[in-house]
Structure 1
């Protein structure tokens, strides 16, 4: 673990003060020319200063939480690399010029940590590095950190109707932050987190070198799968193990108000959710659906079952009869349709809706959010 601490500190520490904003772009570009033989003057279009006409639109393009749109903690420079060598050069130049580095893949983190910093910094936006290569034969895929979950799911479904991947519900979430933070979703009860299914990765360290699982310390490989990848370097791409999904899965969303016994159902769910069959995932969503000053609490029991209605209803009668699930509450679909269902799209829409990087599903939009995650060791 000492190696992990050393890498983290070396990657994040600044060594000097940056130059003025007016000349920073030129100096940074000159540095990248020196650091990378593949970098050319025509590549200056990937470096944006606050004086660039596209600076603001690029900065805000992946800021999924509008809470930070008016923040004064903006990057001195934005770099949108087209190839790995440009990321290597950007890391080395940031270090040489004493600038902090922030890395953005999808821009979903609630506190804006991928595009905010209290000291002068460079934002490396991975939006141009988003390839997904699926190998059906060995049931694996290589996916670059700039891709989104939607792009990953779409690519898998295009190649196979029997393979999927256990990761999040929101298709616009970036791979880089999601995998390095753990990544939970509807398949986790059977297949674990996204990070549990990462079998290799390519990382740029603070020296600009590229490491994979074979050349990095095994402790470092462990740390980037849940410990926040950009703390230890920039994760370029991930090799993941795909999982088998049935031809038919079933989803349901049952709404209950307080008058309909929602409180007792939530209380019961807390006692039994961890004992459900591994094919059954049920989450709860608690929200105020009242209008104006009227407060009306509604609890939604939102579920995915890896199988058909004929198996699900008897299973629910046995494990959670209090909910009163009926066949008419359930919808059978394919795995990729369930991805759309949980993202707020209609299951019969074209899967290409998952390729948009702008939240647009019924259940997903850009919201001004302040959130926290907590692990509760006792029931509420």
Structure 2
């Protein structure tokens, strides 16, 4: 086992944990023993209990879904903000020894909040990795080591700072924490050219249930395969990733072209489904679909906005669009040439007046209460189906669909290359998001009901057997493990979320989990379960 440095840290155990916070004597005993174990660790200002004035601000600091931090949402018994891997090692060892459950948060983007809350309402300690965000760019090796708590925005900025000739294949949302993002696959605006983040991961450092820090060589290829797309929180604590630096041109082109129903949006989107999967690899495009107001009217319409990045100049993009997708009617005035780093800001939705240095703040473009779901589409949805969507969306307040284009390199990577199986044959992925603005239970119930009904309507048009879903758009409606991680978790996952997220890769993930973490120490509502006894 890796050595754990010990020394004087923690002046008083009372400042670490308020035992009055716990209800049963057994829980008090376990917690006291846990605290005693931690007292040999060394840190400053990294432990926060609910009676600490900074507890709530730290808990909420990177929580991206306001639905998961309402007053009634389960809160951690303690927040620990380590500054290096040795602190995490100690917490893992002590938690396992004394039966304390842990949750790990890098960026707080888990759609169900499972990195910082609990749907089972079992007590837990939160390990917040936001102080671990070192980035080391190596141009000679064409790689970068990035700690789990760094955001994608910080990563992109520091890579571009070193060289404008390289970029990273990862997500579109700049406040995503790198640690958790990569574990789910990490799709982004260069996926059609270079594949996903997991396809470009070269190495990783992970802390296992014994508190050991392992790299790719010491963890073994099976575990390295599993953590690249098998979802976070199942195998250990990701400390850092090593990712490939990928060539990008000096000038790229971005567009944001809206089309409403009155401008022929239905026909244009119908044609997009047929043409877009065959675009050149250098072109990524997604479509935002939502209701919008009709000018000078009380009525609403549906707006479709084509948001795209082309790895090249505007003139070349115009030529491609006129040839392959003339229905969009792209004009020179729709095209904006910029650097790759500036395109990160554009695609993420930041106004042009916001400087790229904003990426260093790690702040999201917006926050709200939401429920999300996902689908993968393999056959073109007919116009009648599109019109049925419009009717239903106009009945809701702030619904949103985002259609993310696939094809290109995604078609050429095997389904089993990583746990992320949604590859050849996928035309595009749909993300459904229903948002609301007030923490009202009745409002939440209403908006939940709408998105579930809409999801049911969409079932006839999307992938089947299984109906596939994206693990980084976590959806607890698909099912959950047993509350205490019992043997029936495997059966539940096989018949629901496990197969939907990972298809045939699920069984390999289970086998790796059973060998690497046989005590199921790392677990949550949708973690990879163990093979049944």
TM-score for both structures, normalised by structure 2: 0.64
1:296 to 2:296 alignment: no
Deviation at 1:97, TM superposition (A): 2.3
**Partner residue in 1 for 2:213:** 210
Does residue 358 of structure 2 align to residue 357 of structure 1? no
Per-residue deviation at 1:356? 1.6
C-alpha contact (below 8 Å) 2:208/2:237 kept by paired residues: yes
SS of equivalent to 2:114: coil
Partner SS state of residue 174, structure 2: coil
Distance 1:321 1:178, change over 3 A: same
SS of the counterpart of 1:317?
A: helix
1:133 to 125, 132, 136: 136
Please, which of 310, 314, 322 is the counterpart of residue 317 of structure 1? 322
What is the rounded CA distance, in whole Å, between the counterparts of 2:167 and 2:310 in structure 1? Answer: 14
- Contact 2:308–2:347 at 8 Å: present in 1 too? no
1:368 Cα offset (Å) = 1.1
CA RMSD between the two structures = 1.9
Match of 2:338 in 1: 333
Q: What residue number does 1:3 align with?
A: none
- 1:234-287 CA-to-partner distances (Å, cap 9, x unmatched) read 000000001000000001111000011111111111122211000111110001
Q: What is the alpha-carbon distance in structure 1 between the residues aligned to residue 20 and residue 359 of structure 2?
A: 41
**Are 1:95 and 2:96 an aligned pair?**
yes
Q: Which residue of 1 aligns with 2:36?
A: 30
Q: What number of residue pairs does the alignment pair up?
A: 353
Change (3 A) 1:314 1:328: same
1:375 maps to which residue?
376
CA distance in 1, matches of 2:326, 2:170: 28
Secondary structure at the counterpart of residue 270 of structure 1: helix
Shift of 1:64: 1.0
CA distances 1:16-74 after superposition (whole Å, capped 9, x unpaired): xxx7636687654421234xxxx23xx36211111111111111111111111214311
Separation (CA, whole Å) in 2 of partners of 1:144 and 1:44:
20
The structural deviation recorded for 1:345 is 2.4
Q: Which residue of 1 aligns with 2:423?
A: none
Aligned to 2:258: 255
Higher RCO, Cα 8 Å, sep 6+: 1
Which residue of structure 2 aligns with residue 4 of structure 1?
Answer: none
Q: Are positions 1:243 and 2:249 aligned together?
A: no
Partner of 1:229: helix, strand, or coil?
coil
| Partner SS for 1:342 | helix
Contact 2:33 2:98 in 1 (8 A): no
Find the aligned partners of 1:29 and 1:347 in 2 and give their Cα distance: 49
Query: Tell me, which stretches of 5 or more residues in structure 1 are unaligned?
Result: 1-18
